[in-house]
Structure 1
Amino acid sequence: MFWRMTGLSTTSPVETILDKENYTLEELLDEDEIIQECKALNNRLINFLRERTQVEQLVRYIVEEPPEDAEKGRTFKFPFIACEIFTCEVDIILKALVEDDELMNLLFSFLDPEHPHSTLLAGYFSKVVVCLLLRKTVPLMNYIQAHKDIIQKLVDLIGITSIMEVLIRLIGADEHLYTSYLESMQWLEDIDVLEMIVDKFSSTDCPEVHANAAEALCAITRYAPPGLTAKISSPSFISRLFRHALEESRPKSVLVNSLSVCISLLDPKRQTSGTFYIYNRQSTHGSVVTAKPETVEGMLESLGSLLKLLDVSSEENVLFTTYGQLKPPLGKNRLKIIEFISVLMTVSSEAAEKELIRLGALKRILELFFEYPYNNFVHHHIEHIIDSCLESKNTSLIQHILEACHLVRKILDAEKNCALNSDPKNPTLPAEGRTPPRIGNIGHMTRIANKLIEQGANNSYIESYLQGDSEWVEWHTDVLTKRNTLENVYQWACGRPTTLHDRGRDSDDDDYQDRDYDVAALANNLSQAFRYGIYENDDNDEAHGSLDRDDEVCVIKFY
């Protein structure tokens, strides 16, 4: 219960201003309760703000940079409040803006090349346009259709993330928000917006532009209207994308982000952004991804040139680590290529499998697994590649991974010599004067070995191959079986109930057992951390603000 107390005024400060004979927009914007009054639909306030003069001034606060000598309120508070007024979604104010071409011209003048594009104002501009897209979809799309150069201007500023978000929503690549307005958006399929975006890979060297262009294209693969989806998955577009990716003079970020688009085309549900998230391995691993055959064939045309990059890395580049040195590091390019191959294998395309066998890709990838024994990210993808081979119905692929690639022999040799090899021909070398550490991929090799046993139970060829290797049989009996028993967490007492394995699977702890982390997303997220200088290394100039750092990320493995 609330009591009315005498002596306390309940009049809003906004009402006090409105009661004055002469008041200005700035007086209202300077009052903290103006947003609350807008949301409460204060009639006197709304009728004042809907006037054309006031709407124009609100737009100017959003799109025009303040003078150098402007007060703090004009520089920061007024643009923020102006943006919030529009995003309160008061229909009469939005209508006053969207139905006036001159005001819309003023709003979109922010995109003009000669206009300064500060990140702060770009965010406010983005919020207002997105609000109009959601609440005034048809009139806004009609305006943009009459001013198609807006699309090109948005693409030119795609390096600004908030502008990229406007572009993504505008072309309908945001969870089908505009399924009720397909007729208003049909014209977008007739313009070359995809070509505009993909050509940003060749028109600039800015990594932020490349990353945002890839993000926009990935969004199109997931949510765009059918017309744009058909265009982006066509062989001609794939060829154009690879042409930019494989151009020798282009920065590393072009190849990495181009392959992110290809991965999204193969598996649209796969997350390719830098967002940190939990990856449910149970729900994705082993599942077959369906991609259009013409899309896969378009990628196979450039596969040979792409795989050549697995052997290209600057030998002069040396990265010193806690365990020794990498000469050269694996690098982002080769890691992304292997991730791409991992996703390509899940498509179960016979043509792709034959091409990978013919080009010797699987053999080279397996070599990288053992050449970089401390790179968890590459181990994760290569394990998925091996699992896809073993689960394949193509007998020639299984024979290739076992016989031509010598998978079992490599595992046994690595288990026999589990210390880091000091051979100078290896890219991963131990520190001089110290005992070589244990290699870090034993855990992944254990899972691969268990996968071999699992598939051998259902595949007579795999079973006979394993049984025909006496060294494998001995290692399986003496080492692998004991290791699996030791690492079975359900048998650990450690102060917990020994009957842990008998309880129901209904707690958060049980759900955790079914989860794994998407190390590709973690790698990308860690790159973003280096990009913003969160983990700076004063001894390494390359660590400061570079997205192109071609280094090896070290991760401590736990068994």
Structure 2
Amino acid sequence: MFWKHNTSTQIEALLAKEDVTIQEIMDSEDIINECRLQNKMLIEFLQKTEIMEELISLITKEPSVEIEERSRFKYPNIACELLTCDVPALNEKLASDKVLLDKLYTFLESDLPVNPLLASYFSKVMGALIAKKTEQNWLSYQFTCLQVLDFLKAKDTFISLLLKHLGTSAIMDLMLKLMTQVEGIEMNQNILNWLDSQNIIQSLISLLNPKVDKERHYNVAQLLCDFIRIARDNQKNAVERVDPDPLLNTLESSETISLLLDYILSGEEKSESAIVGGIQVIISLLDFNQSNASKFSSTQNLYGTNINEEICDNEQKQRSISNTTRVMKDRIKQFHDLLVDPPKQIPVSTTVGILDPPLGNIRLQVTKLFSALISTNNQELLKEIEMNETLSLLLDLFFKYQWNNFLHTQVENCLMGALKIHSSDDNDETSNALSKHLLSKCRVIERIINAWKENDEQQSQLHGIRKGYMGHLISIMNKIVTLCNNSLGHYLKDNLPEVAKSLDEFKETTLEETNKIQETLLGGAHPNSSVDNNDDYGDIPFPQSSALQQQMFFQYQIQNSTSQFIEGYSGFSDDAFNLGNDTLQSIEPRVEMNFDLSEGDMVQQQEIFKQVCAQSINTLDDADDQIFDDREHTFQTVIEKNDRNEAAYSSDSDEELPTGNDDNNMEIDPWTSPKIAVEETTSDSTSFGGSDPWKAAGQSEDTVGGWADFSSVRFDVNTPETNEEEKKIEVEENKVESVDCNVKSAAGDRAANLIEDIEKMVEQSVIVEPSKSVAGDSSDSQLEDDKEKKV
């Protein structure tokens, strides 16, 4: 928003100046974008008549040659973009002002040759007024298009000037837009009828005269071919019922096709560009783009479109093909002569030698034309081809120009088209005439087998080179063998038994061996096939489609991210997420943990754990008494005993802990044990010596189940403490009530080392508070007694 506001402010500041010029406005970097955004001040400025005239002058008059070349067409380009920004105000201003249109029209009146860049600017501006854009308002388009078309109709020289400049591609594009892109049924039909009344099709055909320049030959042929395709598609895809295209009907008529053939074939002088262009137009008339037609038909059936429209399309197709073949049957001899005696060609030097004469584009296009004519299956036309022995001539060219694969492809199409006619229509002798001619007189099978043998002999020699047509020969022979499964095979056995026998032998020996070689996969196996399991690359998939490749890559990403997630989080313990300050120490997350432990390993780890716990208790006994003066430093541990009837061990005892095989020792979670509830009492005396402080009064050890139950423990202190100690006790009681068996210890370096040993030797540590943890609650005399006992 800032940049938009900033740019608009700059342009508005320029427009506010007196005597501002259009060049100063066009020097602004964002002038085109502001015009598309329809800046009000800018549009008002550009709408001025004098400004519009300057813009049109920039795109119709060539800049001075004194201007630097890289900036010479800067302003004409910007002017063209401003006039084609699809701003309704500018379009309506240009279309409604006859003076401006006259100034624009003067470009067509320029002498030849015109600047191709300025021609593109002119064509773009005129096309923007004629053709509707997707986002353009319909009423605005009708207003501008109607006025422009009326202006052009009033110009008597418009068609002739377009034909004059048709050698420029931009003018050709403008004429194609005028013939195909005017929207609106009524408006489109009016312009087509007007163009047909001006004999636009006949005028375009006349440009294929050999005396006309080559540039217009190529552009006229391209224009007519594009028009045939677009006009047929427009009629098929029309939502509403439309009248037949008068220009297309004129072009498909027999009279126009005869006129076309007269221009390209008559006369002593023959022009390659004219002949090639005319042949391309005829091929377009015969080609109804079957793939798009079938696709369109399936779409129509899906949405329930009237089948009568398809019938009309088929009628038009049959009418167009019939008109073309009817005219072409009388011209077969002329096209055959072009294969025998084409226009003179200069020799061409290639990597395999000098071609003198070369095949040439004319003979290649004539071969392509014969392929299209044979596919029509017109009996009269096929008879003319047979009479002129055109297929035999095509076979000669096939073997003569062994390196021209474009020719080989078209000849193969001609041969297969003729043989398929025989295979598909067994009872029609007229239809089979061309295929019989190909098999008997042209001796196509024998010639192919002989050429195959010649190639084998040539390859067997020193530095022998394989002939360039061998790939097409393999394809042709495989197709012939396939067709022999039908009526073609019966014809060979009945009429040409020796040919049928040689074909069978060739198929079973040479062709079968060749096909095996051709089917052998490079590298010995297809990438998708299974390979040896010992191969390091055997499990790598090679999907054939881009969709499978994307799917495999997506699965790989998912697997990779999942494994990383598990590795990063599977080893974290609950303590790693505890934010409190009252834990013993933080445990580093273990990325890899092996839980596959045998029963013997578990028993051994239990024994080690119990021994370490016993050592830790002895260590605490030997520690300095000052440890117990500070309530913040305690080491808590509880071990379940095997014999539940045995008295609980005392913190003052030096006896070794019992080592049992109780399997429950490692399965109890210390964090789920009951909380310790400490209550102050006023009892006179309670002695801890020789009794179990973990057991509530009047409760048996069987009830406790071998574990300390702190829910009802009462600690009586028989020596009065100071207020300070009472406060300490009160604080400690609150901590004990709020934390579930938290471990706190600072027993020195030895205690820390023991903790590390515990973490390394066992996977889970069960740490609770020993009976010594209440030593701070006893009196000084009691501590002295404990010392004497240790001594």
User: Fold match, TM over 0.5?
Assistant: yes
Cα distance between partner residues in 1 of 2:442 and 2:122: 55
Cα distance between partner residues in 2 of 1:438 and 1:214: 39
Q: Secondary structure at the residue paired with 1:437?
A: coil
Could you tell me whether the CA contact under 8 Å between 1:419 and 1:439 is conserved in 2?
no
Could you tell me whether the CA contact under 8 Å between 1:205 and 1:251 is conserved in 2?
no
Cα distance between partner residues in 2 of 1:237 and 1:49: 47
List aligned pairs for 1:22-33, cutoff 5 A.
22-33=19-30
| 2:476 aligned to which of 429, 448, 451 | 448
Cα distance per residue 1:371-390 (max 9 Å; x no partner)? 11110000011111111112
List aligned pairs for 1:134-153, cutoff 5 A.
134-135=131-132, 136-153=144-161
Pair 1:34 & 2:31 matched: yes
What is the aligned-residue RMSD (CA, Å)?
3.1
| 1:417 aligned to which of 454, 476, 486 | 454
Cα distance per residue 1:230-261 (max 9 Å; x no partner)? 11122221121112211331321111111111
Cα distance between partner residues in 2 of 1:316 and 1:228: 37
- Counterpart of 1:369, as a letter, is F
Query: CA distance change for structure 1 residues 316 and 260 in 2, over 3 Å: closer, same or farther?
Result: closer
2:98 alignment counterpart: 101
Q: Secondary structure at the residue paired with 1:159?
A: coil
Cα distance between partner residues in 1 of 2:547 and 2:485: 30
2:263 alignment counterpart: 244
Could you tell me whether the CA contact under 8 Å between 2:270 and 2:343 is conserved in 1?
no
Cα distance between partner residues in 2 of 1:36 and 1:316: 54
Q: CA offset at residue 202 of structure 1?
A: 2.0
Pair 1:366 & 2:374 matched: no
Cα distance between partner residues in 2 of 1:441 and 1:462: 27
Could you tell me whether the CA contact under 8 Å between 1:132 and 1:140 is conserved in 2?
yes
- Counterpart of 2:161, as a letter, is K
Q: CA offset at residue 498 of structure 1?
A: 3.1
1:331 alignment counterpart: 360
1:261 alignment counterpart: 281
Pair 1:88 & 2:85 matched: yes
Query: CA distance change for structure 1 residues 116 and 295 in 2, over 3 Å: closer, same or farther?
Result: closer
Cα distance between partner residues in 2 of 1:509 and 1:323: 43
Q: Secondary structure at the residue paired with 2:354?
A: strand
List aligned pairs for 1:114-153, cutoff 5 A.
114=111, 117-135=114-132, 136-153=144-161
Pair 1:294 & 2:323 matched: yes
Query: CA distance change for structure 1 residues 508 and 347 in 2, over 3 Å: closer, same or farther?
Result: farther
Q: CA offset at residue 310 of structure 1?
A: 0.8
Cα distance between partner residues in 1 of 2:542 and 2:146: 53
Identity %: 28
- Counterpart of 1:218, as a letter, is C
Query: CA distance change for structure 1 residues 166 and 16 in 2, over 3 Å: closer, same or farther?
Result: same
Cα distance between partner residues in 2 of 1:23 and 1:420: 85
1:388 alignment counterpart: 417
Could you tell me whether the CA contact under 8 Å between 1:345 and 1:353 is conserved in 2?
yes
1:533 alignment counterpart: none
Cα distance between partner residues in 2 of 1:113 and 1:250: 31
List aligned pairs for 1:519-534, cutoff 5 A.
none
- Counterpart of 1:507, as a letter, is S
Pair 1:52 & 2:29 matched: no
Cα distance between partner residues in 1 of 2:543 and 2:480: 27
Cα distance between partner residues in 2 of 1:367 and 1:509: 47
TM-score (norm 2): 0.56
- Counterpart of 2:440, as a letter, is E
Query: CA distance change for structure 1 residues 354 and 261 in 2, over 3 Å: closer, same or farther?
Result: same
Could you tell me whether the CA contact under 8 Å between 1:323 and 1:437 is conserved in 2?
no
Q: CA offset at residue 306 of structure 1?
A: 1.6
Aligned length: 474
Could you tell me whether the CA contact under 8 Å between 1:205 and 1:250 is conserved in 2?
no
- Counterpart of 2:484, as a letter, is G
- Counterpart of 2:35, as a letter, is C
Pair 1:182 & 2:172 matched: no
Q: Which blocks of at least 5 consecutive residues in structure 2 are unaligned?
A: 133-143, 232-243, 292-316, 426-430, 532-540, 549-791
Q: CA offset at residue 319 of structure 1?
A: 2.7
Pair 1:347 & 2:376 matched: yes
Q: CA offset at residue 72 of structure 1?
A: 6.1
| 2:545 aligned to which of 482, 507, 512 | 507
Cα distance between partner residues in 1 of 2:457 and 2:154: 65
Could you tell me whether the CA contact under 8 Å between 1:457 and 1:463 is conserved in 2?
no
Could you tell me whether the CA contact under 8 Å between 1:374 and 1:441 is conserved in 2?
yes
Q: Secondary structure at the residue paired with 2:111?
A: coil
Query: CA distance change for structure 1 residues 466 and 478 in 2, over 3 Å: closer, same or farther?
Result: farther
Pair 1:403 & 2:403 matched: no
- Counterpart of 1:442, as a letter, is M
- Counterpart of 1:244, as a letter, is Y
Cα distance per residue 1:290-346 (max 9 Å; x no partner)? 543122111222221121111114788433322233222111111111011111122
2:653 alignment counterpart: none
Query: CA distance change for structure 1 residues 456 and 504 in 2, over 3 Å: closer, same or farther?
Result: farther
Q: CA offset at residue 116 of structure 1?
A: 5.8
2:643 alignment counterpart: none
- Counterpart of 2:507, as a letter, is H
1:457 alignment counterpart: 485
Query: CA distance change for structure 1 residues 369 and 203 in 2, over 3 Å: closer, same or farther?
Result: closer
Cα distance per residue 1:7-32 (max 9 Å; x no partner)? x9565432221232331111111222
Q: Secondary structure at the residue paired with 1:325?
A: strand
Cα distance per residue 1:497-520 (max 9 Å; x no partner)? 3369xx99972599xxxxxxxxxx
Higher RCO, Cα 8 Å, sep 6+: 1
2:216 alignment counterpart: 209
Cα distance between partner residues in 2 of 1:417 and 1:22: 86
Q: Which blocks of at least 5 consecutive residues in structure 1 are unaligned?
A: 272-288, 422-432, 511-559
Q: CA offset at residue 268 of structure 1?
A: 4.5
Cα distance between partner residues in 2 of 1:488 and 1:335: 31
List aligned pairs for 1:479-558, cutoff 5 A.
479-488=510-519, 493-494=524-525, 496-498=527-529, 507=545
- Counterpart of 1:199, as a letter, is S
TM-score (norm 1): 0.78
Cα distance between partner residues in 2 of 1:266 and 1:420: 43
Q: Secondary structure at the residue paired with 1:69?
A: coil
